[in-house]
Amino acid sequence: MKEEPTQAATRAAGSSFYGGMRILPRPQREAMFEIYAFCRAVDDIADDPGPREARRGELQRWRTDIDALYAGAPPPQLRGLAQAVQTFDLQRADFLAVIDGMAMDVVADIRAPDRATLELYCDRVACAVGRLSVRVFGMERGAGLALADQLGRALQLTNILRDLDEDAALGRLYLPRDALRDAGIISTDPQTVLANPMLGEACGALVELARHHFAEAQTIMAQAPRRVVRAPRIMAEAYGLILDRLVARGFAPPRKAVHLPRVRLLLIVLRNLM
């Protein structure tokens, strides 16, 4: 009998990570789809153009729902997530960290944050998701936490570099203040910064940082059983290629959107199945 996709699986189908999630055994796959659906839901709240107070209220409702889940009374829409929590011992603190990361975008638009704020943001919106994921993958605790930290930061920095124009349209600029100043850029206005001829130099600092985190993540994965790190290997390879394409394209306007063709993603998946 053909397996019917769950609502969480349907939502995950458009994700860059879908290929990496799809190859997992069914219990792990379904857990990752539930984690992704949660992340997508709270991210949509953060990116909604509506009033900030209303969005803060929606995030607070998510905190209440997560608390109810861990108290043994999950809302009906979170029963699938509750099963994943029980099966893989997912930690409440990591779900709340993701919500707190989204709240950073809701309270005020992030513009040229200091390095500590950027590090905190990456930990909440990316590394916390990694900490949930490595439990599903079945990694040893120490190596899993290290991979979540390194790969989470690499992926998030790549997202920041890829989504410069999209974020600027929302009034946001995640390039750190020190990187801008080192490139001679004083403004923190997103559109002004993106038009500056020295933007590439500022982005170059994040490129090197992302590559450092990718390299550290590869070292961790090389020491883990291959079957356990197939999904994060796929994510790392795909995003590493996106980063390479961003560098090859450059950061001067007009910036053509960078995506990996589905065929290339499929090849990455197939190569990591061997």
Give a yes or no: residue 174 inside a domain: yes
Nearest to 178 by CA among 119, 265, 238, 243: 119
CA dist list (Å): 100 to 6, 16, 59: 27, 23, 8
**pTM higher than the cut 0.75:** yes
Instruction: Report the pLDDT value the prediction gives residue 2, as an integer from 0 to 100.
Output: 43
Number of domains comprising the chain: 1
User: What's the average model confidence in pLDDT over 103-127?
Assistant: 98
| pLDDT band at residue 189 using 50, 70 and 90 as cut-offs | very high
Instruction: Report the pLDDT value the prediction gives residue 264, as an integer from 0 to 100.
Output: 85
* Domain region containing 91: 17-273
Euclidean distance between CA atoms 222 and 229, whole angstroms = 9
Token digits of residue 138: 């079945």
Give a yes or no: residue 3 inside a domain: no
Give a yes or no: residue 2 inside a domain: no
Give a yes or no: residue 203 inside a domain: yes
CATH number at residue 225: 1.10.600.10
| pLDDT band at residue 8 using 50, 70 and 90 as cut-offs | low
Whether pLDDT at 22 is above 90: no
Give a yes or no: residue 147 inside a domain: yes
Give a yes or no: residue 4 inside a domain: no
Give a yes or no: residue 7 inside a domain: no
Instruction: Report the pLDDT value the prediction gives residue 13, as an integer from 0 to 100.
Output: 47
Instruction: Report the pLDDT value the prediction gives residue 190, as an integer from 0 to 100.
Output: 98
Give a yes or no: residue 6 inside a domain: no
Asked if 66 and 94 touch (Cβ cutoff 8 Å), the reply is no
